[in-house]
Amino acid sequence: MTARGESAFGVLGETVREALAERGFTEPTATQRRAIPPIAAGEHALVVAPTGTGKTETAMLPVFDALASEAPRASDSRAGSNATREASDQDVHGIRALYVTPLRALNRDMRDRLEWWGEYLDLDVDVRHGDTTDYQRRKQATDPPDVLVTTPETVQAMLTGSRLREALSDLEHVVVDEVHELAASKRGAQLAVAMERLRALAGDFQRIGLSATVGDPETVGAFLTGNRPCAVREVDVGSQLDLRVYEPEITDEDATLAGKLATTERVASHVRAIRDLVADNESTLIFVNTRQTAEALGSRFTELDLPIGVHHGSLSKDARIEVEDAFKAGELDGLLCTSSMELGIDVGRVDHVVQYQSPRQVTRLLQRVGRAGHRSDQVSRGTIVTTREDDTFEAAAIARRAKAGEVEPAGIHEGSLDVVANQLPGLAMDGDHADGGADAAYGPSTVGEEQDGVSARAAYELVSTAQPFADLSEDAFRAVVEELHSNRVVWLDEAADRIETAGGTRQYVYQNLSMIPDEETYDVNDVASGRQVGTLDERFVVNFAQPGEVFVQRGEMWRIVEVDDDDGEVNVAPIEDPAGEVPSWTGSEIPVPPGVAGEVGEMRAVAGPQFERGAPRDAVATEFAGRYPVDEGTMASALDQLERHVDAGAPMPTSDCLVVEQHGRTVVVNAVLGHKANATLGRVLSSMLGQRTGSSVALETDPYRIELELPSGLGTPEVVEVLKSTDPEHVEAIIELSLKRSDALKFRLSQVAAKFGALRTWEGSTDVSPQYLVAALEDTPVYDEAVREVFHEDLAVEHAGRVLDAIQTGDLGIETVGERTPIGTAGHSSGKELLAPENADASVVQTVKDRLQDDRVVLLCVHCGEYKKQTKVRRVRDQPECAECGSTRVAALSPWDDETVPAVRASEKDDEQDELTKKAHRRANLVQSHGKQAVVALSARGVGPHNAARIIGQLRENETDFYRDILAQEKQFARTRSFWD
Instruction: Give the tens place of pLDDT for each residue, 307-335.
Output: 998 887 767 777 788 888 899 889 999 99
The span from the CA of 471 to the CA of 880, in Å, is 65
pLDDT in tens, 117-148: 999 999 999 988 767 778 888 888 889 999 99
230-244, 608-622, 790-804: least confidently modelled range = 230-244
**Taking 60 as the threshold, does the pLDDT of residue 339 lie above it?**
yes
The span from the CA of 834 to the CA of 755, in Å, is 37
The span from the CA of 763 to the CA of 561, in Å, is 24
**Residue 918: what pLDDT?**
93
If we measure between CA atoms, which residue out of 659, 419, 592, 443 comes closest to residue 515?
419
Instruction: List CB contacts of 670: < 8 A, sequence separation 6 or more.
Output: 653, 658, 659, 660, 661, 704, 705, 821, 823, 824
CA 59 to chain centre: 29
**Residue 830: what pLDDT?**
38
The span from the CA of 320 to the CA of 313, in Å, is 8
The domain defined by 239-404 folds into Rossmann fold (3.40.50)
C-alpha distances (whole Å) from 608 to each of 389, 626, 656, 706 are 15, 18, 13, 21
The span from the CA of 181 to the CA of 411, in Å, is 10
HSE of 59, CA atoms in CB hemisphere, 13 A: 32
**Residue 465: what pLDDT?**
97
The span from the CA of 404 to the CA of 307, in Å, is 35
For the residues 726-751, what does the mean pLDDT come to?
Answer: 86
Q: Which amino acid is located at 608 in the chain?
A: G
The domain defined by 3-82+90-236 folds into Rossmann fold (3.40.50)
Q: Where are the domains positioned within the chain? A: 3-82+90-236, 239-404, 417-511, 521-575, 651-820, 842-979
pLDDT in tens, 860-917: 999 999 999 989 898 999 999 999 999 999 999 988 788 899 999 999 998 889 999 9
**Residue 6: what pLDDT?**
53
**Residue 648: what pLDDT?**
94
**Residue 459: what pLDDT?**
97
Band of residue 531 on the pLDDT scale cut at 50, 70, 90? confident
44 within 8 A of 206, measured Cβ to Cβ: yes
The domain defined by 417-511 folds into Arc Repressor Mutant, subunit A (1.10.10)
The span from the CA of 1 to the CA of 156, in Å, is 43
C-alpha distances (whole Å) from 704 to each of 133, 464, 719, 904 are 51, 39, 17, 42
CA max distance for the chain: 107
**Residue 157: what pLDDT?**
92
By the 10 Å C-beta count (0-12 exposed, 13-18 middle, 19+ buried), 645 is classed as buried
- 380-385 and 334-337 beta bridge pairing: unpaired
**Residue 406: what pLDDT?**
93
What pTM did the predictor assign?
A: 0.77
Band of residue 383 on the pLDDT scale cut at 50, 70, 90? very high
Find the helix or strand (DSSP H, E) in which 936 lies. Answer: helix 932-939
- 648 phi and psi angles, rounded to 5 deg: -75, -5
Question: Which is it for the CA torsion 457, 459, 462, 468, positive or negative?
Answer: negative
Rg (C-alpha) for the chain, rounded Å, is 31
How many percent of the chain have pLDDT more than 90? 54
693 within 8 A of 714, measured Cβ to Cβ: yes
The span from the CA of 723 to the CA of 670, in Å, is 13
C-alpha distances (whole Å) from 241 to each of 51, 372, 400, 592 are 12, 10, 10, 21
449 within 8 A of 429, measured Cβ to Cβ: no
The span from the CA of 296 to the CA of 351, in Å, is 24
For the residues 32-61, what does the mean pLDDT come to?
Answer: 91
- 308-311 and 454-455 beta bridge pairing: unpaired
**Taking 80 as the threshold, does the pLDDT of residue 658 lie above it?**
yes
Cα-based torsion angle of the residue sequence 903, 906, 910, 913 in order, rounded to the nearest 10 degrees: 10
> Higher model confidence: residue 278 or residue 774?
278
pLDDT in tens, 745-767: 877 888 899 899 987 544 444 44
The domain defined by 521-575 folds into Thrombin, subunit H (2.40.10)
Classified as helix, coil or strand, 341 is helix
C-alpha distances (whole Å) from 703 to each of 67, 215, 596 are 50, 20, 9
Q: Do the first three CATH levels of 3-82+90-236 and 239-404 match, i.e. the same topology?
A: yes
Q: What's the DSSP call for residue 469?
A: G
One-character DSSP codes across 859-909: EEETTTS--EEEEEGGGS-SS---TTT--S-EEEE-TT--SHHHHHH-SS-
> Higher model confidence: residue 378 or residue 672?
672
Q: Which amino acid is located at 76 in the chain?
A: D
C-alpha distances (whole Å) from 582 to each of 194, 299, 978 are 39, 10, 19
Band of residue 541 on the pLDDT scale cut at 50, 70, 90? confident
pLDDT in tens, 461-513: 999 999 999 999 999 999 999 999 999 999 999 999 999 999 999 999 998 99
Band of residue 377 on the pLDDT scale cut at 50, 70, 90? low
Find the helix or strand (DSSP H, E) in which 126 lies. Answer: strand 125-128
Find the helix or strand (DSSP H, E) in which 501 lies. Answer: strand 498-501
- Determine how many CB atoms are found less than 10 A away from the CB of residue 529: 9
User: Left (φ > 0), alpha (ψ -120 to 50) or beta: where does 330 sit?
Assistant: left
The span from the CA of 123 to the CA of 140, in Å, is 14
The span from the CA of 349 to the CA of 282, in Å, is 9
